[in-house]
Structure formats: structure tokens, C-alpha cells
Structure 1
């Protein structure tokens, strides 16, 4: 077997200093480095392999600890349905994918550091890995968008209590008017006056633990996904854009099938817009489901653009270093 196939990561390779990898396809080669090799390398020189391993290990530890707290919260949450509903919850599915991705990459770095797999050039396996990474990231973005822009406004409207009649108060004029008419006036008073309003009611209205869970499920997870794109890996935009687009559409539809199974088994809907009684009609449920599926390729386009942005920035930084080195050598 060719020794170069099983050499340690980056052993004796310094041709592409900005990513710690030899010259990539962007600089003239047809075949780029395998995606699962790039998943273990940052595009920035300030993050060497050892530092990257510690950072990813910290991310895994954080996701694991917070995941246990999230699971505890979900299982203790008051619900008329079985606890098995948690298995079909989109936020739990998404969070689990994010944790599994980081575990896979960390395990790959730790166990294969000195001996890369002989089949790392397999295009099929690279496609499976990049598809897994893409679906994980897109689902994370979808989870955040659906909560902040769809679920949260609906929850706030649904939890709002109408004003209730209260005694009119101590106004002198109103007291004289009440005495002359022989009855006590009442007025509508907002019983939620003085409490947080808008999205803060749903997030911070029931103590710090619920707020902690919500923020981690629907905000911190996306921050970690963005940090992964810009700092923790150097995975390039896939050439098979169409296949990845169809892939995220397929997996979005597959999740809806999983949610339907959850409805049959537990009676709980994964989203309120999957409940015909809440949303009004079967046609509305179908339209909302189509919107869910369409959201997947839209957010994949966002992910694709973010990776392209990172590539442009890192390529420009590399070009500046090359120019500076050439200028210094000229003197």
C-alpha cells in the first residue's frame, strides 16, 4: 500500500499554510482533500491541531451536559402525552444530530490521528459524510428559525389571557358617579400588567431553567453550528450541489414522516401547525408541511454562502501571506 495513504495527519505537509493542508483544488488540483480530513482541520493558522482537539472536546462535553439537562426538562414537562413524544421532537432530533456529528469528528481525530483509513478517498463515503454534516447544520438552522419566527409568536398569542373585570379604583369623580347611580363600576384590567411581554414571557416567565433550556436548544446550537463553519473545519462547498439540495429536501420530508409516526404512537404533534384542529384544515396542514420542506433548501443555500464566505476570507489571507513572503524573498 502506498505509504502516503496512511501517513499521519499533516505529516511533513506545509504547502498550504493557511489550512495546514497541501495545495487544495482551489489552487490547481482536480481532486481536493477528503471531507472527513478537512473536518479535523481549521482554516486558520491560529488554531493548530492540538488546540482544535481541545476546543471540539469542550464542545462535546458542553453539548452532552446540556443535553442531559434538556432531556430532564422535556421529560418533566407537563403533558397529557407519553414521554416517548420526546423522541419525535424536532428540536431533540436536531440537537442529537449536532452532538453525534461532533462526537464522530472528535472520535475520528483521536483514533485515526496516526493512521488514516485506507479508503478515505472513496467519493461515496465522502458524500455520505458531507450529507450528514449538511443535514445536521441545515436542521440546526431550521430549528432556530421555526422556533423564533413561528412557534414562539404562536405560543405567546395562545398563552395570553384576556383582560378581566376589576373594581374601578379610587378616583373621586368615579366614586361620586357610582354613589349617584347606586352601583359599583368595573373596568377591564390586564392581569399580566407588570410581567414580561412578547417573547420574553415564554422564555423568562417560568424561572431560569426553562430559559436556559430554550436558549441552548434554539440559539446556542446555531451559534455552535456557525462556529463550526467558520472556525472548526475547512470543509469546502460540495461540487454535487444538486444532490445535497435534494438530500436536505428528502430528509426534511423524512422527518415529517417520523413526526407522523410520533403522532400515531403518542398522540402528540411535533409542531402546532401539524394539528388540524389548531390550524383549521387539512389543506392548511399540507401547506405548512410544504413550507417546512421548502425551508430546508433555502437554509442550505445560506449554509453554502457562509462556507463560500469563509473560503474567500481564508484564500485572501493566504494570498497576502504568499505575496508578503515573495516580497521578503525579493529583498
Structure 2
């Protein structure tokens, strides 16, 4: 079995004649299948990824039950348009993809990349190729996956930040807000507070507390663990392109939330609703612009975190 299948991906030697694109010695799709830390081997990484996917899938079921059973003036179709749902689905999809690639790469690593000339049947070869990480991705494939990786980690972090710094202090966190010196939103006649104003987070029922902590907190911790410990993906390049991509992704969510408003009469984030912003369309527009503007700040944190991991692992 090649060393790269059981050890962290190492930089390409200066004696090697063929330089990799963008100064990287390994494709980004392969880096998603390798931890940068020597104490996490391939089988260990596969086990960790299996646990994470199982956990996130369980969280999805419990959180969906919580959201569907929450009393609301709107039906269950509001859920796909909520930012927390979009962020969670992106993160879950990334982890499912990474698990699949890691499993195929680990347990078929003694073979070359599947091809039509292998001993397997053509159907088996196509299936194996479909579920395998590309060893020679095109520039478009590399950038597309890099953007997907970036957005699927920026959004969960942004979701957590918005929840604890905006939604909870404003009284939209689903439980009694902590006693912070802040101005809280006073619901209008068309809005109902769907939680006991005398109960804190840990005084709510178990399913509700579990859902809130996981959807708006644990997902951020999982994103941190993924970026630092579970993959060898390098800092995003080009930076300007990724910043632009993050801005576009945030803008696309606002468009998606607008569709949700038309379909369900419910905004995925309360500050996008002029009625909840003092009947001020300008305030809602400004809040939406602020939402888009914050996303590159989260990207800066992600970029710095990856740079820190690269520096530490290179030193060891």
C-alpha cells in the first residue's frame, strides 16, 4: 500500500519533475481524504467520519421533529428556507461526500484509479469511479469543490454567530434570552412568541435543547474539527475569487429566502422581515446587506484557521 494512503500528504519533492497546478503537490479531492496529523490514520479517519455522518443524520431527524412540532403561524414548508436548514444541509452533504471518498480511497487504495480495463465489470468500474475522489480534477472541478468546501464551513459558523449574537439577544432564539443590556424585539400583533418567557435554554424540554445546541452550536464545533484535524485541504486560492464566491453564496441565500417569503409568507431570518424591523423596509434591506457583508469576515477566520493548521503540521 502506498505511503500516502496511510500517512499525511507530504509536499512534493523538489526532485520530482512534474509540478502540480497552483503549487500544490496533491489534488484537493485527495486532500479531503487525508488528515494532516500522523496520529489519525486512514482507517481511523474513516471511523471518525462515519461517526460524524451518523451523528449529523441523527441530529437532522431530531431537529426536523422539533421544527415541525413547534407552534407557528406558518406550515412546515418554511423549514427549507431557514438559514439554519441551508447551513446544516450543506455541512451534512460535505461530510457525506468526504466519508464516501475517504472510504473508497482507503479500502481500494491498493488498486489504481478504476478504469474500464480493470477486471471489474464496466458497471462496477463506473460505480467505483463515481464514488472515488478525482486524482486529476480539472481547474473548474478544483475551484468548484473548493468553493463548496468553503461555503459548507462558512455558513455553519455564520449560522452560529448570528444565532448567539443577533437572534438570542433579540428574543428570537426560542428560549428566555440571557439578561444582556440589549434592546429586544417586541413582537407585533401578528407574531407570537413560541416559547415560555420564563424558561432558559436548559429549562426547556430535552428535544428542544438538543436541537438548539446542535443546530446552532455543535455544527460550528464540527466545522472547526473538520478544518483543523480531518482534512489536508490547503488555504483557498485564489482568495479574491473565493471572497466573491462567498458574497454570491450569501446573496443567493437572500434570493432563496425571498422565494420562501413568497411561498410561505415567512422569512428565513427575522431581520429580513420589515414587519419585525419596525415596519421599516430600509432596516430590513440594511440587515440583509449586513448579512452578506459578514460572510467574508467568517471566511477570513476560516482562511486563518487553515493557515494555522498548515504551519503547525509543517513544523511537525
TM-score category (smaller protein): 0.7 to 0.9
Q: From 3, 8, 19, give the equivalent of 1:13.
A: 3
The answer to whether the Cα contact below 8 Å between 1:25 and 1:31 also exists between their aligned partners in 2 is: no
Change (3 A) 1:27 1:234: farther
Contact 2:30 2:135 in 1 (8 A): no
Corresponding residue to 2:149 among 118, 133, 149: 133
Q: Are the aligned partners of 2:36 and 2:229 in contact in 1 as well (CA < 8 Å)?
A: yes
Aligned to 1:264: 262
- Determine the C-alpha separation between the residues in 2 that align with 1:89 and 1:64: 18
Q: Residues 243-265 of structure 1: CA distance to partner in whole angstroms, max 9, x if unpaired?
A: 11100100000000000000000
Shift of 1:274: 1.0
Q: 1:229 aligns with which of 209, 227, 230?
A: 227
Aligned to 1:68: 61
| Offset from partner CA, 1:99-139 (integer Å, 9 cap, x none) | 11010111112234434466623221111111101001000
For 1:157-176, list aligned pairs within 5 A.
157-158=184-185
Q: TM-score, normalized by length of structure 2? A: 0.79
RMSD (CA atoms): 2.4
**CA–CA separation in structure 2 for the residues paired with 1:299 and 1:308:** 14
Distance 1:53 1:67, change over 3 A: same
Number of positions where the alignment pairs a residue of Structure 1 with one of Structure 2: 268
* Structure 2 match to 1:292: 291
Distance 1:251 1:97 in 2: 12
State the distance in 1 between where 2:286 and 2:158 align.
Answer: 17
Is the partner of 1:269 in helix, strand or coil? coil
Q: For residue 208 of structure 1, report the CA deviation from its aligned partner.
A: 2.0
User: How far 1:12 sits from its partner (Å)?
Assistant: 2.6
1:23 aligns with 2:24: no
* Distance in 2 of aligned mates of 1:55 and 1:27: 35
Match of 2:89 in 1: 96
Q: Which runs of 5+ in 2 are unaligned?
A: 114-128, 172-176, 178-183, 188-195
1:153 partner SS: coil
Residue 239 of structure 1 pairs with residue 229 of structure 2? no
Structure 1, unpaired ranges of 5+: 1-10, 161-190, 318-331
Q: What TM-score do you get using the length of structure 1 for normalisation?
A: 0.76
State the partner residue of 1:314.
313
